[in-house]
Structure 1
Amino acid sequence: MRERDFWQLIDEVFGPAYGRALAREQMLPALDGRTPAVALDDGDEPRDVWHALCDALDVPDTERWGKDKHRQAPPPRR
């Protein structure tokens, strides 16, 4: 997953306004208390950041990949 894919999924799954707010403000234990935006800036893999956010918010696997184009081949979890 590329960082631009992360931001596209943020917009599709959470909506642009709420999703961007989550990325800037939601501190996640799985990211050592950092926000998703800070984790990405620090060089974390976008896929790992995405899974950490979805796990923290209990987003079901069936809803994590936005529109159908993302559901075809979701990246494997680590």
Structure 2
Amino acid sequence: MRLTHFRERMTEEFGAARADTLAADHVFAELDRQTVNQALEAGWDPRAVWRVVCSTFDVPSERR
């Protein structure tokens, strides 16, 4: 998954404002206690980050 596709999915799922806030502010234990933005900047694969977000926020499987 490319980073642009990841950002598109975040926006589709949560809306633009909430996606940006979630990516900047929500700390995920599964991402080594980092936010989405921090994990991506640290080199995490966007697909792995998306899986964590989906799991944490119970995104339905058809939208994962």
TM-score, normalised by the number of residues in structure 2: 0.93
Unpaired runs of at least 5, structure 2:
none
Aligned to 1:34: 34
Query: Equivalent residue of 1:34, what SS?
Result: coil
- C-alpha distance in 1 between matches for 2:55 and 2:29: 11
- Report the alpha carbon displacement of residue 58 of structure 1 after superposing the two structures with TM: 1.2
- Report the alpha carbon displacement of residue 43 of structure 1 after superposing the two structures with TM: 0.6
2:57 is the counterpart of 1:57: yes
Greater helix share, structure number: 2
Q: Letter of the 1:51 partner, please give it.
A: R
- Report the alpha carbon displacement of residue 63 of structure 1 after superposing the two structures with TM: 2.7
Unpaired runs of at least 5, structure 1:
65-78
**Superposed counterparts of 1:1-78, under 5 Å:** 1-64=1-64
Aligned length: 64
Q: Letter of the 1:43 partner, please give it.
A: G
Q: Report the aligned-residue RMSD.
A: 0.8
- C-alpha distance in 2 between matches for 1:54 and 1:39: 15
Structure 1 runs, 4 residues or longer, greater than 2 Å off: none
TM-score, normalised by the number of residues in structure 1: 0.77
